[in-house]
Amino acid sequence: MEKILQPSTGIDNVGVGNQWTHNLRKGPFYHHVTYIGTLTKTAATAGFTSPTLADFISLLEVRVNTEARRVIQAIELDTIQQAWGSIYAAVATDGIANDLITAVADVVNGANTTRVTTFQFTIYFTEPWRNSYVAQRFFGLPTLWPSGQTVDIQVAAKTPANALITNIVIRAEEFIDFAKGPHLKTLANGQPDTTSPAILPMVNFWRLNKNYSGTDFSITDWGSVGGKLQQVSIFGQANDFLTKFKLLGDNIVKRDTTKARNDQLNVTYEFDYPIPTLTAPYDKANVTHIALDVSDDVTDWFQFDQYKNVELALTLNQAAAANKVLYAIVQAYDVIQLPAKA
């Protein structure tokens, strides 16, 4: 099937300090969407640093028919995607315009420097880091079904307020084909039964914040999380990193290991590639990816929705942070049954 790389639809309400929105067009099957954002920063020349991804995007959401199905900080998503390989990391280029061609030199005006930086940040739906094409596209995002039904997909993100940042420009590119989504049932000949509900298979990202006071605590309240658990990424406070954990379903142990052994398992399955040194808690020492879906078998997940109680018991190195909050990014595959076609 032909695949198309092209400019996407326009982005609304772009501005520093604004939440901007991007409504995807209906019809395509989305492999990924890349946001190309240019920031201009003016600050003291002494100690000048370039803008970071966190200056471009903070919290982002992917919404299906107005309901948020992915909620995550951009730097958290970038850290997770880098774990699959450095080629999936966000790219920041100083001194280049939004067209990714035109050079823009720094301007030094007395004690201040002005620099233009352009970011390329991608939200993946299909997973190109998997080994087979079938597995890669299993999690892709359809927006049209054989019955003619469509779905509304919106990406919403926040560019934080920052007195040093001006002149923000954002555009989007999409990598798509036109495969249609599945229906709940199929006919005897293998074709979709268009009289049955249209369904949207999707990997959801839930962001849980958990308070802690000591080094031992458990996650037992999972909020909206459901479906098939693929991965939990733990972002600890600086030096309050995870040392060991135990995952249980109805008191049956599924994982019981240390961070070191877990990280080694991830490397064995080519998951946890070395990542650049980032600011805590996004550096490697303070991040633990509990990858349950480690093989090319797309059903290699933890059946979260088959258990009455799921517990993730955590042990931290210490509990010294002043603001004792740990963030858990939970990836869970689920099938959304769409409303009947009007």
Q: Are 195 and 44 in contact (CB under 8 A)?
A: no
- For residues 311 and 250, give the distance between their C-alpha atoms in angstroms, rounded to a whole number: 8
> Has domain 202-337 been given CATH number 2.60.120.730?
yes
- Tell which residue, 284, 301, 205, has the closest CA to residue 238: 284
Q: Is 164 exposed, middle or buried (0-12, 13-18, 19+ CB in 10 A)?
A: middle
- For residues 318 and 242, give the distance between their C-alpha atoms in angstroms, rounded to a whole number: 9
Backbone phi and psi for residue 277, each to the nearest 5 degrees, phi listed first = -70, 120
- Tell which residue, 207, 223, 168, has the closest CA to residue 73: 207
> What's the chain's Rg over C-alpha atoms?
21
Q: What is the DSSP letter of 25?
A: P
The domain limits of the chain are: 4-196, 202-337
Q: In this structure, what token pair is assigned to residue 5?
A: 């790389």
- pLDDT tens for each residue of the chain, 342 residues long: 799 999 999 999 999 999 999 999 999 999 999 999 999 999 999 999 999 999 999 999 999 999 999 999 999 999 999 988 889 999 999 999 999 999 999 999 989 999 999 999 999 999 998 888 888 888 999 999 999 999 999 999 999 999 999 999 999 999 999 999 999 999 999 899 999 999 999 999 999 999 999 999 999 999 999 999 999 999 998 889 999 999 999 999 999 999 999 988 888 887 766 666 667 777 778 999 999 987 777 788 999 999 999 999 999 999 999 999 999 999 999 999 988 765
- For residues 152 and 116, give the distance between their C-alpha atoms in angstroms, rounded to a whole number: 34
> Has domain 4-196 been given CATH number 2.60.120.730?
yes
Q: Are 11 and 172 in contact (CB under 8 A)?
A: yes
- For residues 250 and 307, give the distance between their C-alpha atoms in angstroms, rounded to a whole number: 6
Q: Are 61 and 156 in contact (CB under 8 A)?
A: yes
Cα separations in angstroms, 225 against 27, 159, 166: 28, 27, 38
Q: Please report the pLDDT score of residue 156 as a whole number.
A: 98
Q: Are 293 and 231 in contact (CB under 8 A)?
A: yes
- For residues 114 and 164, give the distance between their C-alpha atoms in angstroms, rounded to a whole number: 9
Task: Evaluate whether 4-196 and 202-337 have a shared fold.
Answer: yes
- For residues 36 and 91, give the distance between their C-alpha atoms in angstroms, rounded to a whole number: 10
- For residues 182 and 135, give the distance between their C-alpha atoms in angstroms, rounded to a whole number: 16
Residue 188 is which amino acid? A
- For residues 30 and 177, give the distance between their C-alpha atoms in angstroms, rounded to a whole number: 7
